[in-house]
Amino acid sequence: MTSEQSPLPLTSLSGDESMFRDAVAGFAEEEVRPRVQDMERAAKIDPAYAKKAFELGLMSIEIPEEFGGAGGSLMMVTLAVEEISKIDASAAIMVDVQNTLVNYPIAKYGSDYIKSTYLPRLASGTIGAYALSEPGSGSDAFGLATRAEKKGDGYVLTGRKLWITNGAEAEIFVVFANVDPAQGYKGITAFIVEKGFPGFGVGKKEDKLGIRASSTTELILDGVEVPATNVLGPVGQGYKIAIDTLNGGRIGIGAQMIGIAQGALAAATAYVKERHQFGKALAEFQGIQFQLAQARTETEAARLMVYNAARLRDAGKDIVLEGAMAKLFSSQVAERVTSVSLELFGGYGYTKDYPAEKFYRDAKIGTIYEGTSNMQLSTIAKQMLK
């Protein structure tokens, strides 16, 4: 697809995964690859890329057609994130968060007012973010310090949020706060907060190891007045909304990780065919071949786990176990495969002249965000021992 052509209508591709994948792959080659290095150096997503992603419908895959989306599936989100991650994980995570952590809970739990007000904006050009984590609550996600005090016809939110992906670009936020700390997690409630609400501020932008173009910021809630119409779901049910949302979000991270692994492996495979030592290509050495074969096998296994979890979710099944396993394994595989790929480049792999070091850095976040590997292991064990 050239920049002069009209964006592909995703609704017409929703029944053909192969065509959809090819369309996204073409988009990634044309719109992402030329921007990767500039975005990496600037540590910022190119607004022109974000605009193109909206035009193609990649930012509203699961939003119902009546609200301007494609009415697609989590499997389509998975394919899109995977294909973009083969080239740039930062560009992919913007798409992932928008779909799995913002659009999904609003479409599922939002009132008619919330859906009609915010989904069309999220489908047409407004970036969103998901704000659960805080300085003192990471893995203990529900030990929230942010408070929501009932005041008149609305609520006043006070607190800080941390590690917010898309924080610098977003204008609509799904924010979690506790309306009744005495009730513990049963007081947690979800709110839709706009960047322009008085008292809302975006704080420090983190200087990160990987996915550097993706913004990760803190949010400052200094007496933010939120109307009662912006409560997402029932009051006190925020923890259920957060868990359900994150279960699907883990599939998006799994897709990002398998994309990274495939991108790194493809780069290394091409390199060992070209690089000669001792009179022959590196690819002719059995030791190199075995490393490539092992990496390909593990990547394919992780890929199938991610796809399985996505299809189960689309079928309305509970994926607490499958989602945790897919996220755990895909992030482990991405770490191993990117490490092997970097080593196959030799000294060149350690330089920024080749893509191996970026894939390696980008892979690490998979074992940390949207639930650390230890938290995934805990979830898996609990599900096994029920």
Which of 80, 89, 107, 188 minimizes the C-alpha distance to 143? 188
Asked if residues 106 and 120 have their Cβ atoms less than 8 Å apart, the reply is no
Distances in Å between the Cα of 181 and the Cα atoms of 143, 147, 235 are: 10, 8, 13
Q: Concatenated DSSP letters for 140-171?
A: STT----EEEEETTEEEEEEEEEEEETTTT-S
Q: Tokens 């609520």 — which residue? A: 155
> How many alpha carbons lie under 13 Å from residue 338 in its C-beta half-sphere?
30
CA dist., res. 277 & res. 26, Å (int): 34
Backbone angles phi, psi at 21, to 5 degrees: -60, -45
Whether 370 sits among the annotated catalytic residues: the reply is yes
Q: Determine the residue type at 121.
A: R
To the nearest 10°, the Cα dihedral for 334, 340, 342, 344? Answer: -150
For 350, the enclosing helix (H) or strand (E) is: none
CA dist., res. 57 & res. 65, Å (int): 11
DSSP β-bridge partners for residue 150: 155
CA dist., res. 319 & res. 177, Å (int): 26
Asked if residues 176 and 131 have their Cβ atoms less than 8 Å apart, the reply is yes
CA dist., res. 86 & res. 79, Å (int): 11
Distances in Å between the Cα of 240 and the Cα atoms of 81, 109, 189, 235 are: 25, 11, 9, 11
Q: Tokens 């499997």 — which residue? A: 75
**Residues classed as catalytic:** 370
